[in-house]
Amino acid sequence: MSTPRDLMFPEQVSAGFGRRLGALCIDWFASLGVAVLLFRQFAYGSPESMIATVIIFYFEIVLFTFLIAASFGQKLLKLQVVSINGGRLALWRIAVRTFLIILVIPALVLDSQGRGLHDRIVGSQVVRVN
């Protein structure tokens, strides 16, 4: 029997929350590592270090999602960000989506299809790929 999610995205399987959270953690720790390496003048855990990490995190996700339709962590976990209309997202949609992820709350508010508020606002969906 088809679920509403299957009817909306018949050729793609929506990514589960756990897999998306895992990708987010990979992206965060990768960004943290880059920030520690690039900004040695900032003590680990300082406000400056955290700001540098957030900025690197933002640009990593925007750049990778624009270029390969997935962030570093999403690529490792075989996920992809697509438009609900099919195809890739525009750069401005990726930038807004990533900003909303950084705000945290929009990413935690899920609809009945498992999409976060950040995905609903920009018309995107995270799907599993082979």
Q: Is the pLDDT of residue 122 over 70?
A: yes
3-state secondary structure of 21: helix
- What pTM did the predictor assign? 0.85
Spatial distance between the Cα atoms of 35 and 60, rounded to a whole number of angstroms = 12
Q: What is the pLDDT of residues 15-73, one digit of tens each?
A: 888 899 999 999 999 999 999 999 999 988 899 999 999 999 999 999 999 999 999 99
Alpha helices in the chain (DSSP H): 4-8, 17-38, 47-68, 72-76, 91-102, 105-108, 117-122
Spatial distance between the Cα atoms of 32 and 40, rounded to a whole number of angstroms = 12
First to last CA, the chain: 23
The structural domains of the chain, with segments of one domain joined by +, span 4-128
Q: What is the pLDDT of residues 60-89, one digit of tens each?
A: 999 999 999 999 999 999 999 999 988 889
